[in-house]
Structure 1
Amino acid sequence: MNPSFAHEAAIAKAATTTVGIGWRHAHYGEVLEQRPAVDFLEVHSENFFADGGAALAVLTQARSHYPISLHGVGLGLGSACGIDPWHLDQLAKLVARINPVRVSDHACFARGLLSGAPVGHAPVHAADLLPIPFNAAALAVMSENVERVQNRLKTPLLVENLSAYVSFEGSDREEPQFLADLAAHTGCQLLVDVNNLYVNARNARLAGSDVDPVLACMQWLDHIPVGVVGELHVAGHRDCGDVVIDDHGSVVCDAVWQIYRHALQRFGGVPTLVEWDTDLPPLEMLLDQAAQARALSAVASPRGEIQR
């Protein structure tokens, strides 16, 4: 994959800010009936892997009215045992059917071999987004996996930063540098989840950091090269007192909107998704959040130029 391909795609998308919503089952009917004025719908890829059935039929119907963004949770791009061939086959079929505007997944591992398992034993899937160390070995693994996915799908992949509740002692660089290195090595783009940044910064503060969480997030963004970010996510989270959880179950808070404005000023008009996955609200509330993102993007002034 030619790295310049991803940068050209980022330049094209930067011209206009588009705002979409995460399309969940509870809102399938309303969206298809009302056809609200959103720029794209984003769905979890794995929910549509079946060769037929109601789910794929609904997605195909939506595709006739909206661009679709496929957001995966199961590739396990940082897994040392590699990508599950079956999973990649199903994703490739879905991409061919839907022709999505973007395909994304997470900078995590999810698959691994059980300790003591016999030779040839199949890897197990953790059914979670597990963090990786930010070092050369992990970068090599993830780069190989990302390139395999991109070569199969014939499109740049967007890789999302995690909300992580543990970290590894073996890291030799900070997360933004790791992600920038990944983009440089593979030509992938980055999906920057602003809420994940804030959740991590809040938890760092609870663990003893003396850096203001909003400032920490802005500094994180400032270490990401301009031109490699293909999408932004905003969402809500839950403050449980001793930990902040990325549950996508509430409105976007003022601090996340503030960081989002900073992201727009740095990266320009990047497509933006409002995520809401738990305690789903009425569709009107979700659309109000999308309208707020659109209003903020309309007044944000990009700074800096695309770096090649």
Structure 2
Amino acid sequence: MLDAQPKRPEKVPNRAGVGFKAQHLDGILKDPDSIGWIEIHAENYMGDGGRPIAQLRHLREQFPVSCHGVGLSIGAEVPLDRDHLARLKKLVNWLEPGLFSEHLAWSTHDSHFLNDLLPVPYTHATVDRVVAHINQVQDTVGRQMLLENPSTYIAFEESDRSEIDFLREVSERSGCGLLLDVNNVFVSATNQNYSPQAYIDAFPTERVGELHLGGHEQDADDFGATLLIDSHSRPVVDPVWALYEYTLAKAGPCPTLIEWDNDIPEWDVLAREAARADQLLSAVPAAQAS
């Protein structure tokens, strides 16, 4: 049951963390110093008990936790699901995560739930709607939310501002922080033919509370152009590692998640990815880390 309070968490450190998968539990517990924190997807822990909650309670005693939601549908045109929000509040109150985040996306329409994270047009009306939804979430759970930049494959003709301007305005008006997914930047920049470095240069990194790294698949569109798919099923590729170093040089060290949600590898593979991120984090000049 959720009524047994886990140990109060410490702040999520400027180290590499991993998305927790049950098959990695033994590996994590045998080598706890290999990671600085863990992330859980909120929707996997909204029950009152059972094995998942027992495992999370045990991990909570040893690691700071980031709680990442994938089902709030922040960008939807319909109101937020109050039952889902109530379950999220109950989990967050019990878990007391060091970080709490959601996607800039939508997945609900009328009474239907779509198992995907779909994009939004960057317009004034969308800003108003997303800000209202974030305010509702933050008021309900009683803490700041981080909003994640999406991976995109198309652009909306009706958009009247850039993605960065959209995210900046949403953050300023709602008070939410930002989660900068470096792999998403690389995927979107490749698919839409712009510079990922220029995106990082323009991004309001002073509002960033967490970074993400992950793997992607490479395909081709109908015209033979490269198309990247944000699959979270492979190691981080060298160009994304290079973009991560570029981001650290601009933003300074920041808690960094290694995402690997499909075709999940053995623990030692994921641990090596985390170790590489930790090495790059530790190389940020001391003056920049202050």
Pair in the same fold by TM > 0.5: yes
After TM superposition, list the pairs within 5 Å mapping 1:84-99 onto structure 2.
84-99=81-96
After TM superposition, list the pairs within 5 Å mapping 1:140-219 onto structure 2.
140-204=128-192, 209=193, 211=194, 216-219=195-198
Shift of 1:18: 1.9
* CA distance in structure 2 between the partners assigned to 1:108 and 1:83 by the alignment: 13
C-alpha contact (below 8 Å) 2:34/2:274 kept by paired residues: no
TM-score if structure 1 supplies the norm length?
Answer: 0.85
C-alpha contact (below 8 Å) 1:18/1:270 kept by paired residues: yes
C-alpha contact (below 8 Å) 2:34/2:275 kept by paired residues: no
* CA distance in structure 1 between the partners assigned to 2:285 and 2:128 by the alignment: 36
User: What amino acid maps onto 2:38 in structure 1?
Assistant: L
* CA distance in structure 1 between the partners assigned to 2:180 and 2:205 by the alignment: 12
Larger RCO: Structure 1 or Structure 2 (Cα < 8 Å, ≥ 6 residues apart)?
Answer: 1
Match of 1:225 among 204, 208, 213: 204
Shift of 1:34: 4.0
User: What amino acid maps onto 2:253 in structure 1?
Assistant: G
Comparing 91-100 and 158-167, the one that deviates more: 158-167
Shift of 1:138: 0.3
C-alpha contact (below 8 Å) 1:40/1:67 kept by paired residues: yes
Match of 2:74 among 67, 73, 77: 77
C-alpha contact (below 8 Å) 1:226/1:305 kept by paired residues: no
C-alpha contact (below 8 Å) 1:146/1:188 kept by paired residues: yes
Shift of 1:80: 1.6
C-alpha contact (below 8 Å) 1:109/1:130 kept by paired residues: yes
After TM superposition, list the pairs within 5 Å mapping 1:93-108 onto structure 2.
93-108=90-105
Shift of 1:72: 0.9
Q: Which runs of 4+ in 1 moved over 6 A?
A: 302-306
Matched, 1:37 2:34: yes
Counterpart position of 1:58:
55
Secondary structure at 1:42 match in 2: strand
Shift of 1:31: 2.0
The verdict on how the C-alpha distance between 1:303 and 1:185 changes in structure 2, with shifts beyond 3 A counting, is: farther
Matched, 1:296 2:284: no
Match of 1:27 among 24, 34, 52: 24
Cα RMSD (Å): 2.0
C-alpha contact (below 8 Å) 1:269/1:302 kept by paired residues: no
Secondary structure at 1:244 match in 2: strand
Deviations 1:216-236 (A, max 9, x none): 111111222232000000011
Shift of 1:17: 2.1
Question: Quick one: percent identity of the two aligned structures?
Answer: 35
Comparing 243-252 and 139-148, the one that deviates more: 243-252
Counterpart position of 2:230:
246
TM-score if structure 2 supplies the norm length?
Answer: 0.90
Shift of 1:62: 0.7
